[in-house]
């Protein structure tokens, strides 16, 4: 018994001695005099910082839980969970929660949280686009080259021209004189042209189409579409951001950056992936180098004058997608990005989306017209081109519907347009609705066409 009591007695004696020693030190220092201060002691800056952190953490908890809950609901209806997460972000904003329970909205998502959500959302999108690049199978760009390039470019050119033409009518209604019409028309065109490659790939996998002719062609077309659309978007952003005399410089720097990535970074990435595989162990050193590379690339493109996400995407794309390094990066990044960062982006988008701005018969008719033009361009361009390359009408229609999937990629484009002041809040809300509707329509229309087997249980689709 005494043996067991001895450690407790020693511990109590140590604590008592420490307290006595500190009391003596405090007594001895009571007579010391320090230089005059600036009056900073007792300020409430620390409390204010703590209050902001409390609200940010609370907001993230609410965002994650709501996003996962609605994602689960949409999965039960054989829809990509990302659509539920997008809608959850919108519902947490002024469109529903801010309108129905303004007091709760002001407490959970106060205005002081918005700048911090913006930073988290932008970092998340940079990481997400890096993952998209890592998972991009560039071999698909070489498979069925002629047909996939023709179909994908038709599904970009047709909606781009229709969106640009629609800008002739929308510009006087929803823009301002400080926005050049050319930039507005470019953004309308690109917003109609985007395909969400990750969502499309997951829909194809979930419906067991990946080994079919239609699935192979769809993946190849989406890969070509993805690369082409993002290059076009980089061009559009550089035009919007650059001053009149700096456009040529921005283009030159962008071309130089792309050249450097493919000539120098790509061979280095392939060598690094081989070295990583030879070690046959996952170490933090490889992940540190990958993180440093994507952040430096993102910083470079941001400084050039195009968005940071382009640099991250490009560096991800030059990492061999089937390498052990790519699998390790995906394993370590994906859960954190999908669970934390993307819901924050959806919530940030939701805070900026005011569905209430779309009011009255005219606005809703315009919204329906935007949805119709976007669908006609993607579906029409893709399906007609597919028919001309030899597919039957049912497969061509299925391919056109798949290419009409927009999802998260569209939201990225729209948020950049809103940040640059090209899109008004009302038009932004209309285009967000278009992105949701066109993505929601993909699975039921594919099922109605009956060109593919019944879907297996949906996994995470981002």
Give 280's pLDDT tier (boundaries 50, 70, 90).
Answer: low
Q: For the chain, give the mean pLDDT.
A: 82
Any domain includes 176: yes
The 10 Å Cβ neighbour count of residue 104 is 12
Asked if residue 344 has pLDDT above 80, the reply is yes
Any domain includes 113: yes
Give 147's pLDDT tier (boundaries 50, 70, 90).
Answer: low
| Residue 328 near residue 286 (C-beta atoms within 8 A) | yes
445: CATH: 1.20.1530.20
Any domain includes 214: yes
**What local confidence, expressed as pLDDT, does residue 368 receive?**
95
**What local confidence, expressed as pLDDT, does residue 458 receive?**
36
Domain that holds residue 86: 56-449
pLDDT, one tens digit per residue, over 28-50 is 887 777 777 666 655 555 556 67
**What local confidence, expressed as pLDDT, does residue 461 receive?**
41
**What local confidence, expressed as pLDDT, does residue 1 receive?**
54
For the record, the structure tokens of 146 come out as 């002629």
pTM value is 0.79
The total number of structural domains that make up the chain: 1
Looking up tokens 């070690």, which residue turns up? 279
Average pLDDT for 391-420: 85
**What local confidence, expressed as pLDDT, does residue 455 receive?**
44
For the record, the structure tokens of 147 come out as 């047909």
**What local confidence, expressed as pLDDT, does residue 13 receive?**
87
Q: Where are the alpha helices (DSSP H) in 307-456?
A: 308-317, 324-336, 342-352, 360-375, 381-388, 393-403, 407-419, 425-449
319-322 own/partner pairs: CB under 8 Å, 24+ apart: 319/133, 319/134, 319/269, 319/273, 319/290, 320/269, 320/270, 320/273, 321/134, 321/135, 321/136, 321/137, 321/138, 322/137
Any domain includes 103: yes
Any domain includes 352: yes
Asked if residue 259 has pLDDT above 60, the reply is yes
Any domain includes 39: no
Axis crossing angle, helix 197-206 with helix 213-241, rounded to the nearest 10: 170
Any domain includes 458: no
For the record, the structure tokens of 77 come out as 């209806």
């Amino acid at each position: 018994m005494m043996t067991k009591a001895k450690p407790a007695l020693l511990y109590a004696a140590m604590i008592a001695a420490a307290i006595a020693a500190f009391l003596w030190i405090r007594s001895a220092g009571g007579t010391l005099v320090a230089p005059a201060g600036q009056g900073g002691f007792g300020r409430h800056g620390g409390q204010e910082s703590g209050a902001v952190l409390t609200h940010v953490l609370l907001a993230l908890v609410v965002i994650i839980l709501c996003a996962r809950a609605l994602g689960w609901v949409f999965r039960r209806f054989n829809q990509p969970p990302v659509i539920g997460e997008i809608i959850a972000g919108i519902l947490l904003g002024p469109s529903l929660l801010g309108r129905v329970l303004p007091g709760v909205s002001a407490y959970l998502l106060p205005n002081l949280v918005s700048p911090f959500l913006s930073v988290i959302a932008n970092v998340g999108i940079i990481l997400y686009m890096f993952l998209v690049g890592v998972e991009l199978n560039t071999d698909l760009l070489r498979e069925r080259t002629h047909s996939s390039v023709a179909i994908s470019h038709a599904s970009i050119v047709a909606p781009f021209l229709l969106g640009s033409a629609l800008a002739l009518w929308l510009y006087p209604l929803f823009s301002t004189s400080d926005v050049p019409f050319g930039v507005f028309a470019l953004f309308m065109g690109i917003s109609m042209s985007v395909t969400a490659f990750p969502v499309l790939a997951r829909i194809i996998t979930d419906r067991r189409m990946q080994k079919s002719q239609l699935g192979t062609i769809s993946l190849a077309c989406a890969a070509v579409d993805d690369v082409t659309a993002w290059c076009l978007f980089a061009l559009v952003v550089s035009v919007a951001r650059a001053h009149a005399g700096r456009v040529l410089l921005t283009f030159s720097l962008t071309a130089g950056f792309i050249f450097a990535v493919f000539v120098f970074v790509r061979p280095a990435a392939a060598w690094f992936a081989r070295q990583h595989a030879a070690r046959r162990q996952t170490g933090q050193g490889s992940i540190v180098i990958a993180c440093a590379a994507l952040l430096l690339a993102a910083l470079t493109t941001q400084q050039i004058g195009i968005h940071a996400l382009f640099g991250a995407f490009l560096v991800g794309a030059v990492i061999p997608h089937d390498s052990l390094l790519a699998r390790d990066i995906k394993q370590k990044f994906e859960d954190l990005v999908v669970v934390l960062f993307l819901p924050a982006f959806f919530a940030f988008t939701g805070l900026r989306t005011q569905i209430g701005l779309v009011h009255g018969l005219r606005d809703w008719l315009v919204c329906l017209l935007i949805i119709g033009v976007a669908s006609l361009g993607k579906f029409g361009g893709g399906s007609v081109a597919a028919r001309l390359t030899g597919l039957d009408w049912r497969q061509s229609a299925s391919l056109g519907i798949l290419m009409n999937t927009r999802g998260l990629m569209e939201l990225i484009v729209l948020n950049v347009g809103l940040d640059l002041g090209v899109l008004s809040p009302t038009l932004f809300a209309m285009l967000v609705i278009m992105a949701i509707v066109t993505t929601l329509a993909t699975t039921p229309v594919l099922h109605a066409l009956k060109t593919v087997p019944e879907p297996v249980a949906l996994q995470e689709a981002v």
